[in-house]
Amino acid sequence: EEIKAARRNQSRSPKVALVGYTNAGKSTTMNGLLREFSKEGADKEVFVKNMLFATLDTSVRRINLKDNFSFILSDTVGFISKLPHNLVESFKATLQETRDADLLLNVVDASDPNMVQMIRTTQNVLDEIGVKEIPMITAYNKADKTDRNYPQIEGDDILYSAIDPKSIKLLANLITKRVFANYKKFDLILPLSAGKELAYLHDRAQVLREDYQDDGVHIEANIAPDDQGRFRQYLA
Q: Are residues 59 and 26 in the same domain?
A: yes
State residue 168's pLDDT score: 96
Q: Are residues 172 and 189 in the same domain?
A: no
Q: Are residues 204 and 96 in the same domain?
A: no
Q: Are residues 125 and 193 in the same domain?
A: no
Which domain-ending residue is among 179, 198, 217? Answer: 179
Q: Are residues 194 and 172 in the same domain?
A: no
State residue 121's pLDDT score: 82
State residue 131's pLDDT score: 84
Q: Are residues 126 and 76 in the same domain?
A: yes
State residue 22's pLDDT score: 77
DSSP per-residue letters across the chain: -HHHHHHHHHS-S-EEEEEEBTTSSHHHHHHHHHHHH-SSGGGGPPPPP-STTS--SPEEEEEE-GGG-EEEEEEPPPB-SS--HHHHHHHHHHTHHHHT-SEEEEEEETT-TTHHHHHHHHHHHHHHTT--S--EEEEEE-GGGSSS--SEEETTEEE--TT-HHHHHHHHHHHHHHHTTT-EEEEEEE-TT-HHHHHHHHHHSEEEEEEEETTEEEEEEEE-GGGHHHHGGGB-
Quote the pTM value: 0.78
- Which regions of the chain are under pLDDT 50? 1-10, 41-42, 50-56
Q: Are residues 116 and 152 in the same domain?
A: yes
Q: Are residues 134 and 150 in the same domain?
A: yes
CATH number of the domain that residue 163 is part of = 3.40.50.300
Q: Are residues 113 and 33 in the same domain?
A: yes
* Number of separate domains in the chain: 2
Q: Are residues 108 and 146 in the same domain?
A: yes
Which domain-ending residue is among 162, 179, 196? Answer: 179
Q: Are residues 41 and 112 in the same domain?
A: yes
Q: Are residues 121 and 189 in the same domain?
A: no
State residue 3's pLDDT score: 45
By residue range, what is the domain housing residue 221? 184-234
Which domain-ending residue is among 149, 164, 179? Answer: 179
